[in-house]
Amino acid sequence: MNALIVAGLLLVLLGVAYQSGWSRSRGLVTADGVKIHSRPQYHGSFVAIWAMVPTLVILGLWAWFGGGITRDYTVSLIPTDIMTSLDQVGLNAAIARIGALASGYGVTGDSPAWEQAAGDALRSFQMLTFVGVLVLALVAGGAALVYARSRIDARLRARNAVERVINLALLACSAVAILTTLGIVASLISEAFRFFTFIHPFDFFFGTVWNPNNAGSAGNWGSYGLLPLLSGTLMITAIAMLVAVPVGLMAAIYLSQYAAPRLRAVAKPMIEILAGIPTIVFGFFALVTVGPFLRDMGNLVGLTINATSALTAGIVMGIMIIPFVSSLSDDILNQVPRTLRDGAYGLGATQSETIRNVLLPAALPGIVGAFLLAVSRAIGETMIVVLAAGNAPVLRGSPFESVATITVSIVNQLTGDTDFTGPQSLVGFALGLTLFVITLGLNVVALYIVRRFREQYE
């Protein structure tokens, strides 16, 4: 509720500031032939930016420090005799109960009188601080609004100032993406190194047995061989790509080159519906329908196929990935210049020859990107392999048997009671780092292919 109030008042302040600057600019009267440097909308944006900056700074400071201030105040409400008898866990529980009482929900049963009084005092404190910070922010924003509006004249370079702010905002957005990636990589590397202080890297990367001892003590950690998980991941991914790439690419070629407009208008949305189905639904479909079907078909031809196997998970995952390959490839094929196809037809090439020798080479960089996206999607998939692969971390070469993947093992190791002091939990970061390196390698290979076969078309 408080967030909605803050957002509403910020929108009101933003609108008032913009309208104030715009109306001020429209009312300028120039003399001596001096032209207004910036248009009214830039003056409005100039005033709006000035009004929002101090407001957001104050709200941001409170968001950063307010939690600690509220916690310190809550601790001060606990009586001294009770405070001395609480350890850290008990103190956190008492703070949580007082906070629940202050919010008016989340506490069942009777509470001591001191907790009720502390909850009432905390509720009043939160209300006063919220109103006080909000009023201070609005006053600062209003003062900045008045100051910025007073600066508006014909010579004010409002457009330059607004564009500088926009450039800084775009730079900040780019920095967020880069810094987030660096933070993820740094956390993976640091925690993975902690894991390797327990398990030797050679035993992890070249081990053939995956059997973590989640209840083990020092010196009895279990076995953490990566190869069974890696082989299961690559096997399922390969099967999925064998299903998705031919079907998706052929569907894209048909829709972009052969299909009538009416058929394309119906078929493409139907294919893309698959992308909107939750992966858990695909998992149930694999477990209940595809797995038993493959098992029965195997019995008819004398093959032993488990209902939960790499084949089941790979086929269903490939069906799920078809829209990614098809839709992206279709868009890329349609972007190839029409003049290239017309030139091929003018030289006497048939439609199939034009597609094979002109269209596909021209669209190859984009198609490789679509395939890369599909491979990354397959490697990182979890729910389908949880239900359909069988979760058997054994090094196998047959796709007809149950396997385990890296993503499923990460989930298994990071769920439940995790203290992150032993290899049982830290192995999740080592597995995540392995997935990151695999994906990075795929990007490098794709970049090489794109540069190797890229051609410039005018």
CATH code, domain with 436: 1.10.3720.10
pTM: 0.71
Quick one: CA dihedral 25, 28, 34, 35, positive or negative? positive
Domain annotation covers residue 70: yes
Q: What single-letter DSSP state applies at residue 421? A: S
Quick one: CA dihedral 426, 431, 435, 436, positive or negative? positive
Contact 48, 64 (CB under 8 A): no
Indicate if 216 and 146 belong to the same structural domain: no
User: For residue 31, what pLDDT is reported?
Assistant: 45
Indicate if 234 and 375 belong to the same structural domain: yes
Structure confidence by residue, pLDDT tens digits, 245-273: 999 899 888 888 888 888 888 888 888 88
Indicate if 305 and 392 belong to the same structural domain: yes
- Please provide the distance, in angstroms rounded to a whole number, between the alpha carbons at the two ends of the chain: 55
Domain annotation covers residue 162: no
Domain annotation covers residue 179: no
Q: How far is CA 16 from the centre of its chain?
A: 35
Q: Which two tokens stand for residue 130?
A: 């919220």
Helix 227-253 × helix 360-379 angle, to 10°: 140
| The length of the chain, given as a count of residues | 458
Q: In sequence order, which residues have a C-beta less than 8 Å from that of residue 143 and are 6 or more positions away?
A: 54
> Domain ends where: 156, 187, 221?
156
Domain annotation covers residue 109: yes
Indicate if 305 and 372 belong to the same structural domain: yes
User: For residue 458, what pLDDT is reported?
Assistant: 46
Domain annotation covers residue 429: yes
Indicate if 120 and 258 belong to the same structural domain: no
Indicate if 303 and 413 belong to the same structural domain: yes
Query: What residues make up the domain containing 396?
Result: 210-456
> Domain ends where: 112, 127, 156?
156
Indicate if 131 and 259 belong to the same structural domain: no
Indicate if 131 and 228 belong to the same structural domain: no
Low-confidence stretches of the chain (pLDDT < 70) are 1-2, 22, 24-36, 38, 104-110, 214-219, 416-420, 450, 452-458
Domain annotation covers residue 178: no
- 158: nearest Cα among 53, 36, 16, 27: 36
Indicate if 89 and 216 belong to the same structural domain: no
Phi, psi values for residue 212, rounded to 5°:
-65, 140
Domain annotation covers residue 186: no
Element (H, E) at 210: strand 210-212
Indicate if 137 and 258 belong to the same structural domain: no
User: For residue 32, what pLDDT is reported?
Assistant: 47
User: For residue 371, what pLDDT is reported?
Assistant: 85
Domain annotation covers residue 452: yes
Q: In sequence order, which residues have a C-beta less than 8 Å from that of residue 224 and are 6 or more positions away?
A: 199, 203, 204, 207, 210, 212, 423, 427
User: For residue 114, what pLDDT is reported?
Assistant: 76
Q: What single-letter DSSP state applies at residue 299? A: H
> Domain ends where: 129, 156, 183?
156
Contact 318, 239 (CB under 8 A): yes
Radius of gyration of the chain (CA): 31
Helix%, strand%, coil% for the chain, nearest 5: 75, 0, 25
Indicate if 237 and 315 belong to the same structural domain: yes
Indicate if 232 and 121 belong to the same structural domain: no
Distances (CA, A) of 110 to 105, 114, 116, 158, 280: 13, 12, 9, 61, 42
User: For residue 120, what pLDDT is reported?
Assistant: 81
Q: How many domains, in total, are found in the chain?
A: 2
Quick one: CA dihedral 50, 56, 57, 59, positive or negative? positive
User: For residue 109, what pLDDT is reported?
Assistant: 58
